[in-house]
Amino acid sequence: MAAVLALVLLPGVAFAQSAESARFEVSGGLRWFGPSGFGTVAANQTVLGGGTRRVFSSETTLDGSMGAGTSVSYRVARAVRVEAAVAYNPTGLSTRLSGDVEGVANTVARAPVTQFLFEGGLLVSGRRRGPVTPFVTGGAGYLRQLNDGRTLVETGRSYFAGAGLYYVRASAHPRRVKAIGARVDLRAVFLRDGVAPDSTIRGVPAVTAALFARF
């Protein structure tokens, strides 16, 4: 984070054409994932006549979390990159228990979950304005969520769409690194399966802040 701030505060350096022409880009940084709710599931028993009676309620959420991510991209056209990324988020499942008919106190039961997202997508840059270049991105991925102790692995799929900004600076060593900078993006990530109770696609917000280098 300090490195990102340093980039912003440094006196401006002329933006070199080489930054745009660089083929490869590697980035690494932080990724925040928003919480995902799985709705309410009641613990029901059968009553005379075949109806149901709720004995307590449960509401389960995959907690929001801060993690890390890294990506590699390759420029296939002037403004288009193909990108592969991995994101790691230590998160957790929380189940809120309430309304117990025998008066047991409301409780939150928790279990840690380790989440990995392996994504691939396209990144399309817009018109550069000084050192800042906007972009849009979209793609899909493979979701892997490991329950506590890795006793159970749940997998699924992800889809994402978002937009962000590059802040690009020319490298001081253009023969080795053509450009460095920071990027931030906000995306909507749509997850299916994994620890979720069903195959409903659920959307969560995600924010990434990373440093990058282009070669």
* Contacting positions for other proteins (CB under 8 A): 38, 41-50, 52-53, 55-56, 58, 60, 93-95, 97, 100-105, 107-111, 147-149, 151-152, 154, 195-198
Backbone angles phi, psi at 4, to 5 degrees: -65, -45
Shortest distance, position 109 Cβ to other proteins, whole Å: 5
Shortest distance, position 160 Cβ to other proteins, whole Å: 24
**C-beta of 17 vs 199, nearer to other proteins:** 199
Shortest distance, position 103 Cβ to other proteins, whole Å: 6
Burial string for 78-87 (b: 16+ CB within 10 Å, else e) reads eeebebebeb
What sections of 100-178 are H helices per DSSP?
none
**C-beta of 18 vs 95, nearer to other proteins:** 95
**C-beta of 35 vs 197, nearer to other proteins:** 197
What is the token pair recorded at 118? 């392996």
Shortest distance, position 196 Cβ to other proteins, whole Å: 8
**C-beta of 24 vs 148, nearer to other proteins:** 148
C-alpha dist (Å) from residue 154 to 47, 59, 113, 170: 35, 19, 10, 43
Residue the block writes with tokens 């929001």: 64
- Residue 200 has what DSSP assignment? -
